[in-house]
């Protein structure tokens, strides 16, 4: 055996260090992060201050895009309000439904695993074009929903997606229907609550409702917190259902922020304006996330804190 | 323990290496990676090696939009082209219309403009202004692009500021497609050149008999307004597109009023009441007629399986000019930064002048621009093809069509969206003062056009 020279010895001891192995392991992710996230991210920050139509080079325009957004563009505010309304209605309903279904499915019966899968399937297919088109068919004037309503003698000629009063609600219903992933997380958390708490409460004479509000719900608050943040971010970024089903119509009542941004960037080729909108949305999402985090100390219960 | 760590590090390193190279070959075009293998033989002499394949062929990227019918025919035609030009290897890429206008700009922005690509008349000016296309005059001059059998007006339609950037694939016209099977059942004859009231009368009868409703008068789109303006010798934009081409709100008001009447009387389709998810389906499920282009007849018949025929776009009853125009169906263009312009021009020349091309594609990209090819293709056509050629001939008669407008300005899609916003509010009854709303739209549109200067 040859004696190790200085360099290979150094290399060897460098490779032996725990950190290096770790960094090398995460290198693929880091490269991906830089190439596919960081570079586009900062490029879009630059583009937000330019006029860029893709075909020719971006022109620096300072704050013009933001000025136009806030002061001149009515549709910008319309889309902002629609998205806000959408998030405000969909998130609470979706989380409530997810929690209730999780409660029901937390009991072990023979069919439970079947139902768990059945309720999760809509979430798996959630983002897909097929589901969006299915929804469009279901709620079309001659669709299944109207046929069922007609069967029970109810008004059966509503154009659910064409009526400004019902269109957003129809899309929210689609979103709520896809409660599966939140439900699974709730389900796991419910299973994690020590049975001894419930047994102690039963001994003390607490009924199921009391046990839900005094044991299950407080124990679930960290998970509710987690799901809430996830769903709020998801709702602000909503795109598919509006883009595929209504295209923002009727009367812009379903014009999500994301859809308007896309129209500006990819139909009218105002990439600079689209980037400015994207950055404003990032700030809005950051603001609400921070708000929820701030409020969490008031309502989220962590067992380890011993309160 | 230590050995394990070293081993793990090496494994990770190998993973990284394979990921990195994987990314590399995916990001670059296939051409680059294959070129690398040939480069080793004579790397110094091949300047444009990026466009040469492993077996020394010139690689030609071609991108187009279209229906399934077009994709199949074009693929066959390009295989034939490669047979006749064994030194060229074509890389085909295609998309539907909507996807095309995000795909092409993305490729242009990424410096990967396809060597040959399809272009639409409405977008021509925009792409030329941004320097995406190569001028082709030199190739016409040296004979490699033979346009001697092509009418000057057709060559002009692809020229901007006296330079040829785009070669038309064929001539077509906007048409009203309609369900002939339904009208035959009802014993109704559709006039070849209908007036608006003739058209709406038929639309009402069809609604009463079948429940199918009208989508043409209710769409209130920029195209609809354009047709209406052309009826009075005007256009959507003025000559240099610095403002709208009209200053009387009356034309917009009339368009909206007709849509409102049709909705109130039941024969016009309300917004959001359509059941169809594709344009093809709409001619089966929702409506009996549809505004399209003459070369699309076959695609609509194929996709719906119905007996669909076509007539001219209806002209208003007091029209002084025809709404219809003859236009280049679409163009072939060459990328300004293409390394293989000679091969690209060879393909365009093949498409313009080679009989073996038309044996396959027929008139799917509209009636050929070369008079020789028109004569060649005429006897080979089936009934539908003949109908398309006859239609273009019919419209080509004196006074049947009015002159073609300039290509649309870059702001067209913003203005078209703006009009849709107003039209929707009118159709939902949110706006009742039509003249004021029309004037508002015009003011805003003019401001958008002025800001583009």
Angstrom CA distances, A87 to A64, A83, A166, B425, stand at: 29, 6, 16, 25
CB A52 within 8 A of CB A272: yes
**What pLDDT does residue B433 have?**
94
Q: What is the pLDDT of residues B239-252, one digit of tens each?
A: 888 999 999 999 99
CB B347 within 8 A of CB B62: yes
Q: What is the pLDDT of residues B304-354, one digit of tens each?
A: 888 999 999 999 999 999 999 988 989 999 999 999 999 999 999 999 999
Position B50 confidence tier, pLDDT thresholds 50, 70, 90:
low
Identify the burial level of A8 via C-beta atoms within 10 angstroms of its C-beta, where 0-12 means exposed, 13-18 middle and 19 or more buried. Answer: exposed
Of the candidate ranges A240-244, B51-55, B293-297, B411-415, the one whose mean pLDDT is the lowest: B51-55
Q: What is the pLDDT of residues A33-84, one digit of tens each?
A: 999 999 999 999 999 999 988 888 889 999 999 999 999 888 999 999 999 9
CB B363 within 8 A of CB B170: yes
Chain B nearest-CA distance from A18, in A, is 8
Identify the burial level of B98 via C-beta atoms within 10 angstroms of its C-beta, where 0-12 means exposed, 13-18 middle and 19 or more buried. Answer: exposed
Residues B225 and B301 in one domain: yes
Q: Specify the DSSP element, H or E, that contains B290.
A: strand B289-293
CB B294 within 8 A of CB B360: no
Q: Specify the DSSP element, H or E, that contains B289.
A: strand B289-293
Residues A21 and A108 in one domain: no
**What pLDDT does residue B51 have?**
66
Contact: A15, B9; criterion CB under 8 Å: yes
Residues A204 and A130 in one domain: yes
Number of domains in chain A: 2
The fraction of chain A above a pLDDT of 70, given in percent, is 95
**What pLDDT does residue B41 have?**
37
Structural domain range at position B373: 50-170+328-390
Is residue A53 a part of any domain in this protein? no
Residues A101 and A20 in one domain: no
Is residue A55 a part of any domain in this protein? no
Using CB atoms, pick whichever of B20, B127, B272 lies closest to residue A161: B272
When pLDDT is averaged across residues A122-136 and rounded to a whole number, the result is 77
* A269 touching chain B per CB within 8 A: yes
**What pLDDT does residue A307 have?**
46
Q: What is the pLDDT of residues A198-229, one digit of tens each?
A: 889 989 888 888 888 988 899 999 999 999 99
Q: Which SS3 state, helix, strand or coil, does residue B315 take?
A: strand
Position A156 confidence tier, pLDDT thresholds 50, 70, 90:
confident
Residues A158 and A207 in one domain: yes
Residues B302 and B337 in one domain: no
Contacts of B12 in chain A (CB under 8 A): 21, 24-25, 27
Of the candidate ranges A78-92, A264-278, B63-77, B269-283, the one whose mean pLDDT is the lowest: B269-283
A68: Cβ–Cβ under 8 A, 6 or more apart, which residues?
A273
Residues B166 and B256 in one domain: no
- In degrees, rounded to 5, the angle at the alpha carbon of residue A128 between the alpha carbons of residues A122 and A131 is 60
pTM of the model: 0.79
Residues A208 and A286 in one domain: yes
The CATH number that applies at residue A232 is: 1.10.3720.10
**What pLDDT does residue B48 have?**
42
Residues B91 and B213 in one domain: no
Cα(A86)–Cα(A105) distance, integer angstroms: 28
Residues A120 and A42 in one domain: no
Residues B305 and B356 in one domain: no
Residue B20 predicted with pLDDT over 50: no
Boundary-marking domain end, from B339, B358, B390: B390
When pLDDT is averaged across residues B21-40 and rounded to a whole number, the result is 36
Is residue A57 a part of any domain in this protein? no
Residues B146 and B194 in one domain: no
Question: Of the spans A119-123, B5-9, B374-378, which averages the highest pLDDT?
Answer: B374-378
Of the candidates B70, B76, B62, the residue with the CA atom closest to the CA atom of residue B117: B62
**What pLDDT does residue A241 have?**
85
Q: What is the pLDDT of residues A246-263, one digit of tens each?
A: 888 888 899 999 999 998
Using CB atoms, pick whichever of A35, A136, A252 lies closest to residue B277: A136
When pLDDT is averaged across residues B10-14 and rounded to a whole number, the result is 43
Average pLDDT, chain A: 87
List, in sequence order, every residue forming a beta bridge with B331; answer none if it has no partner: B119, B168
Phi first, then psi: give them for residue B277, nearest 5 degrees.
-105, -10
DSSP per-residue letters across B157-222 = HTEETTEE-EEES-EE-EEEEEEHHHHHHHT-PPPSS-BHHHHHHHHHHHHHHH--BBSHHHH--H
Residues B129 and B94 in one domain: yes
Contact: A53, B130; criterion CB under 8 Å: yes
Residue A5 predicted with pLDDT over 60: yes
| DSSP one-letter code for A267 | I
Residues A242 and A287 in one domain: yes
Of the candidate ranges A56-65, A105-114, A286-295, B406-415, the one whose mean pLDDT is the lowest: A105-114
Q: What is the pLDDT of residues B70-90, one digit of tens each?
A: 999 999 999 999 999 999 999
Cα(B275)–Cα(A159) distance, integer angstroms: 10
**What pLDDT does residue B25 have?**
34
Contacts of B19 in chain A (CB under 8 A): 28, 31
**What pLDDT does residue A246 have?**
85
Using CB atoms, pick whichever of A24, A246, A266 lies closest to residue B16: A24
Residues B160 and B182 in one domain: no
Residue B47 predicted with pLDDT over 60: no
The residue in chain B having the minimum alpha-carbon distance to the alpha carbon of residue A35 is B23
Is residue A56 a part of any domain in this protein? no
When pLDDT is averaged across residues B256-278 and rounded to a whole number, the result is 86
Residues B166 and B178 in one domain: no
A128: left (phi over 0), alpha (psi -120 to 50) or beta: beta
Number of domains in chain B: 2
CB B347 within 8 A of CB B81: yes
DSSP per-residue letters across B339-383 = S-HHHHHHHHHHHHH-HHHHHHHTTTTSB-SBHHHHHHHGGG--H
**What pLDDT does residue B26 have?**
35
Is residue B20 a part of any domain in this protein? no
Residue B276 predicted with pLDDT over 50: yes
Look-up: residue for tokens 């001619």? Answer: B283
Residues B131 and B180 in one domain: no
Is residue B34 a part of any domain in this protein? no
Residues B166 and B184 in one domain: no
Is residue B208 a part of any domain in this protein? yes
Helix H, strand E, coil C: the string for A180-201 is HHHHHHHHHHHHHCCHHHHHHH
CB B374 within 8 A of CB B202: no
When pLDDT is averaged across residues B186-214 and rounded to a whole number, the result is 92
Cα(B232)–Cα(B216) distance, integer angstroms: 19
Is residue A76 a part of any domain in this protein? yes
Residues A81 and A41 in one domain: no
* A81 touching chain B per CB within 8 A: no
Is residue B1 a part of any domain in this protein? no
Look-up: residue for tokens 């999402």? Answer: A285
Residue B397 predicted with pLDDT over 90: no
Residues B143 and B270 in one domain: no
Contact: B428, A53; criterion CB under 8 Å: no
Is residue A41 a part of any domain in this protein? yes
Cα–chain-centroid distance for residue B230? 21
Structure tokens at A307: 């309160």
CB B168 within 8 A of CB B328: yes
A245: Cβ–Cβ under 8 A, 6 or more apart, which residues?
A132, A133, A135, A136, A161, A170, A171, A174, A254
- The interface residues of chain A toward chain B in range 217-236, judged by CB-CB distance below 8 A, are none
Of the candidate ranges A32-36, B95-99, B271-275, B318-322, the one whose mean pLDDT is the lowest: B271-275
A146: Cβ–Cβ under 8 A, 6 or more apart, which residues?
A140, A156, A157, A158, A160
Of the candidates B183, B190, B186, the residue with the CA atom closest to the CA atom of residue B314: B190
Is residue B275 a part of any domain in this protein? yes
Position A93 confidence tier, pLDDT thresholds 50, 70, 90:
very high
Of the candidates A158, A155, A225, the residue with the CA atom closest to the CA atom of residue A186: A225
Is residue A1 a part of any domain in this protein? no
**What pLDDT does residue B34 have?**
36
Contact: B9, A21; criterion CB under 8 Å: yes
Of the candidates B448, B99, B406, the residue with the CA atom closest to the CA atom of residue A267: B99
**What pLDDT does residue A107 have?**
80
Residues A33 and A124 in one domain: no
* B278 touching chain A per CB within 8 A: no
Cα(B47)–Cα(B416) distance, integer angstroms: 45
DSSP per-residue letters across A156-175 = ----TTTSTTTHHHHHHHHH
Contacts of B106 in chain A (CB under 8 A): 54
Is residue B144 a part of any domain in this protein? yes
The fraction of chain A above a pLDDT of 90, given in percent, is 39
Determine how many CB atoms are found less than 10 A away from the CB of residue B302. 14
Residues A79 and A123 in one domain: yes
The CATH number that applies at residue B314 is: 3.40.190.10
Is residue B399 a part of any domain in this protein? no
Identify the burial level of B68 via C-beta atoms within 10 angstroms of its C-beta, where 0-12 means exposed, 13-18 middle and 19 or more buried. Answer: exposed
**What pLDDT does residue A38 have?**
92
Is residue A58 a part of any domain in this protein? no
Structural domain range at position A41: 6-10+12-47
Position B30 confidence tier, pLDDT thresholds 50, 70, 90:
very low
Cα(B397)–Cα(B51) distance, integer angstroms: 46
Residues A275 and A238 in one domain: yes
**What pLDDT does residue A305 have?**
56
Alpha helices in chain A (DSSP H): 6-16, 18-32, 39-47, 64-67, 74-105, 112-124, 129-138, 144-151, 167-177, 180-192, 195-203, 208-211, 217-236, 240-241, 257-262, 271-299
**What pLDDT does residue B2 have?**
47
- The interface residues of chain A toward chain B in range 136-175, judged by CB-CB distance below 8 A, are 136-137, 140-143, 159, 161-164, 167
Say if the ipTM goes beyond 0.85.
no
């Amino acid at each position: 055996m040859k004696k190790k020279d200085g360099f290979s010895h150094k290399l060897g001891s460098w490779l032996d260090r725990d950190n290096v192995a770790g960094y090398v392991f995460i290198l693929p992710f880091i490269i991906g992060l830089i190439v596919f996230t960081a570079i586009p991210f900062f490029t879009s920050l630059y583009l937000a201050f330019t006029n860029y139509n893709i075909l020719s080079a971006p022109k620096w325009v300072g704050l013009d895009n933001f000025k136009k957004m806030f002061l001149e563009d009515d549709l910008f505010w319309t889309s902002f309000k629609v998205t806000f309304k959408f998030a405000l209605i969909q998130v609470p309903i979706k989380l409530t439904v997810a929690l209730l279904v999780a409660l029901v499915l937390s009991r072990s019966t023979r069919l439970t695993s079947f139902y768990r899968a059945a309720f999760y399937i809509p979430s798996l297919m959630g983002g897909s074009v097929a589901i969006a088109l299915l929804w469009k068919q279901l709620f079309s004037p001659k669709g299944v929903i109207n046929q069922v309503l007609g069967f029970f003698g109810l008004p059966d000629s509503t154009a659910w997606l064409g009526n400004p009063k019902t269109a957003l609600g129809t899309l929210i219903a689609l979103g709520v229907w896809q409660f599966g992933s939140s439900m699974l997380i709730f389900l796991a958390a419910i299973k994690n609550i020590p049975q001894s708490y419930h047994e102690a409460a039963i001994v003390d004479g607490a009924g199921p409702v009391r046990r839900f509000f005094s044991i299950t719900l407080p124990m679930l608050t960290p998970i509710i917190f987690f799901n809430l943040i996830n769903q709020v971010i998801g709702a602000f970024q909503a795109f598919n259902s509006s883009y595929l089903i209504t295209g923002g119509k009727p009367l812009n009542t379903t014009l999500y922020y994301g859809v308007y941004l896309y129209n500006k960037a990819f139909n009218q080729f105002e990439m600079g304006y689209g980037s400015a909108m994207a950055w404003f949305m990032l700030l809005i999402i950051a603001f609400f996330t921070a708000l929820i985090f701030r409020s969490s100390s008031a309502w989220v219960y962590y067992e380890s804190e011993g309160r | 323990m230590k050995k394990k760590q070293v081993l793990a590090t090496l494994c990770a390193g190998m993973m990284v290496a394979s990921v990195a190279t994987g990314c590399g070959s995916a990001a670059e075009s296939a051409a680059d990676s294959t070129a690398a293998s040939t480069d080793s033989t004579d790397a110094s002499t091949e300047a444009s090696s990026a466009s040469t394949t492993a077996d020394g062929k010139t690689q030609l990227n071609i991108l187009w939009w279209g229906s399934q019918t077009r994709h199949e025919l074009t693929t066959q035609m390009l295989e034939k082209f490669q047979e006749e030009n064994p030194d060229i290897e074509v890389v085909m890429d295609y998309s539907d219309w909507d996807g095309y206008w995000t795909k092409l700009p993305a490729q242009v922005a990424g410096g990967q403009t396809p060597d040959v690509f399809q272009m639409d008349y409405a977008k021509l000016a925009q792409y030329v202004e941004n320097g995406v296309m190569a001028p082709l005059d030199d190739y016409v001059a040296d004979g490699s692009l033979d346009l001697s059998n092509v009418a000057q007006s057709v060559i002009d339609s692809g020229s901007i500021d006296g330079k040829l950037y785009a070669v038309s694939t064929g001539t077509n016209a906007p048409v009203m497609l309609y369900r002939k099977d339904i009208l035959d059942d009802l014993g109704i004859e559709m006039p070849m050149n209908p007036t608006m009231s003739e058209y709406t009368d038929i639309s009402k009868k069809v609604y009463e008999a079948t429940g199918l409703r009208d989508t043409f008068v209710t769409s209130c789109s920029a195209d609809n307004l354009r047709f209406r303006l052309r009826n009075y010798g005007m256009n959507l934009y003025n000559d240099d597109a610095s403002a709208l081409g009209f200053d009387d709100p009356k034309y917009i008001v009339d368009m909206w009023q007709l849509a409102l009447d049709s909705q109130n009387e039941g024969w016009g389709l309300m917004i959001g009441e359509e059941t169809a998810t594709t344009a093809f389906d709409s001619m089966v499920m929702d409506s009996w007629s549809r505004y399209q282009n003459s070369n699309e007849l076959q695609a609509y018949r194929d996709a719906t399986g119905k007996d669909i025929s076509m007539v001219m776009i209806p002209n208003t009853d007091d029209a002084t000019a025809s709404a219809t125009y003859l236009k280049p169906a679409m163009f072939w263009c060459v990328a300004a930064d293409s390394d293989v312009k000679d091969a690209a021009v060879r393909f365009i020349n093949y498409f313009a002048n080679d009989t073996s091309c038309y044996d396959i594609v027929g008139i799917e990209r509209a009636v050929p621009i070369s008079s020789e090819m028109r004569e060649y293709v005429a006897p080979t056509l089936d009934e539908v093809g003949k109908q398309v050629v006859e239609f273009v001939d019919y419209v080509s008669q004196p006074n049947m069509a009015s002159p073609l407008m300039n290509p649309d300005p870059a702001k067209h899609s913003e203005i078209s969206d703006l009009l849709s916003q107003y039209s929707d509010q009118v159709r939902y009854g949110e706006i009742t003062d039509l003249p004021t709303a029309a004037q508002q739209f015009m003011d805003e549109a003019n401001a958008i056009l002025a800001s583009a200067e």
